[in-house]
């Protein structure tokens, strides 16, 4: 029996330079897909997977993110007075229980590995924990982290969400070297951060969902900077293999959007809007019109 995963770390201390100038004053994680901030999707996914404690690794300028999780008594009173109960319920569903959220500060953007390490004192010695990158939004029937927790309960160890990526885009990812392919689960022999396409050991890339053991935090404590001068989480997970502790990749069911890039963010916006009954017909009409204008111009 493996210990239950009840804590999740959300590293949100990055600079978000790809969304400048917006990210000059808005944390990237507050940007919305339709009307929900990216961070809300991540929190909902964590809750569905049984997470009870939410650890945010933040940085300067992320105040709006902290405010987002506060209750909004004035707004709630106003909605109650006007009898807008649907909106009131919607608002309340985003409230977090007192004491369920912790904020740690990453003082310098030294990389994802460093951000996770900043939360080390909030994780006990024998406690597995999840890491969720809110930029990676995954549309799926069973939320991705829940799928992973179910698989983790079977095999334990460390687990990363994995996705097949075309060769010409592999350089943007951490890539798995497979020891054994068991279907949804793969046993990992090694991991390479941002390889050239010819050097990539497979087409299976790591994306932003992890279930990790505290050994990874100990590995991070010993690490110097890796690829790109940053402290890479991938390197600390790969170190677990060297120490003969299991690392698995999990091919999740669902569609992942890279909302850290403009193109991925726009695609997600369209996909999530089309999934909403009240928006679908209007947006679809507009898209069809665009396509026919485009075709006529060719």
Rounded (5°) CA angle 137-142-143: 30
Burial of 117 (C-beta count, 10 Å sphere; 0-12/13-18/19+) = buried
* Residue among 151 and 256 whose Cβ is closer to ligand UTP: 256
- The nearest distance, CB 18 to ligand UTP, in angstroms, is 3
With CB under 6 A as the contact rule, which of the stretches 15-23, 30-38, 119-127, 157-165 interacts with ligand UTP?
Answer: 15-23
| Contact flag: residue 174 with ligand UTP (CB under 6 A) | no
Binds ligand UTP by CB under 6 A, chosen from 8, 42, 56, 106:
106
Compute the distance between CA of residue 34 and CA of residue 264 in angstroms, rounded to an integer.
Answer: 14
Using alpha carbons only, how large is the chain's radius of gyration in Å?
20
Beta-bridge mates of residue 92? none
Position among 51, 55, 115, 241 found at the interface with ligand UTP (CB under 6 A): 115
The count of residues interacting with ligand UTP (CB under 6 A) is 21
The smaller minimum CB distance to ligand UTP, of residues 115 and 145, is found at 115
- Minimum distance, C-beta of residue 118 to ligand UTP, in the bound complex (Å): 8
Closest-CA residue to 248 (of 215, 218, 204): 204
- Give me the least distance between CB of 108 and ligand UTP, in Å please: 7
Please identify, using beta-carbon distances, which residue of 185 and 193 lies nearer to ligand UTP: 193
Return the residue of 7, 8, 9, 11 that touches ligand UTP, per CB under 6 A.
11
**Rounded-to-integer distance, Cα 212 and Cα 118, Å:** 15
Angle at 145 between CA 142 and CA 149, to 5 degrees: 100
Query: How far, in Å, CA of 83 to CA of 88, rounded?
Result: 9
Site string for ligand UTP, 219-258 (x = CB under 6 A): ----------------------------------------
What is residue 164's three-state secondary structure? strand
Residues making contact with ligand UTP (CB under 6 A): 11-18, 28, 57, 106, 109-112, 114-115, 133-135, 260
């Amino acid at each position: 029996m493996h210990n239950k995963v009840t804590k999740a770390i959300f590293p949100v201390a990055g600079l978000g330079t790809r969304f400048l100038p917006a990210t000059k004053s808005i944390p990237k994680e507050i940007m919305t897909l339709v009307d929900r901030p990216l961070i809300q999707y991540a929190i909902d996914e964590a809750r569905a997977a049984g997470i009870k404690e939410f650890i945010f690794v933040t940085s300067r300028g992320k105040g709006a993110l902290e405010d987002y999780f506060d209750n909004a008594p004035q707004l709630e009173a106003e909605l109650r007075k006007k009898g807008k109960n649907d909106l009131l319920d919607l608002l309340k569903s985003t409230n977090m229980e007192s004491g369920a959220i912790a904020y740690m500060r990453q003082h310098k953007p030294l990389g994802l590995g460093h951000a996770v390490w900043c939360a080390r004192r909030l994780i006990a010695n024998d406690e597995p924990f999840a890491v969720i990158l809110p930029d990676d939004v995954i549309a799926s029937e069973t939320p991705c982290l829940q799928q992973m927790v179910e698989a983790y309960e079977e095999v334990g160890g460390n687990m990363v969400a994995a996705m097949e990526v075309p060769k010409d885009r592999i350089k943007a990812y951490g890539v798995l070297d497979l020891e054994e392919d068991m279907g949804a689960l793969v046993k990992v022999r090694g991991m390479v951060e941002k390889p050239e396409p010819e050097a990539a050991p497979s087409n299976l890339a790591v994306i932003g969902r992890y279930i990790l053991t505290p050994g990874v935090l100990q590995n991070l404590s010993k690490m110097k900077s890796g690829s790109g001068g940053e402290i890479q989480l991938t390197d600390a997970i790969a170190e677990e293999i060297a120490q003969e502790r299991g690392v698995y990749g999990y091919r999740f069911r669902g569609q992942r959007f890279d909302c850290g890039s403009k193109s991925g963010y726009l695609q997600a916006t369209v996909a999530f809007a089309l999934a909403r009954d009240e928006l679908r017909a209007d947006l679809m009409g507009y898209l069809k019109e665009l396509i026919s204008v485009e075709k006529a111009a060719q």
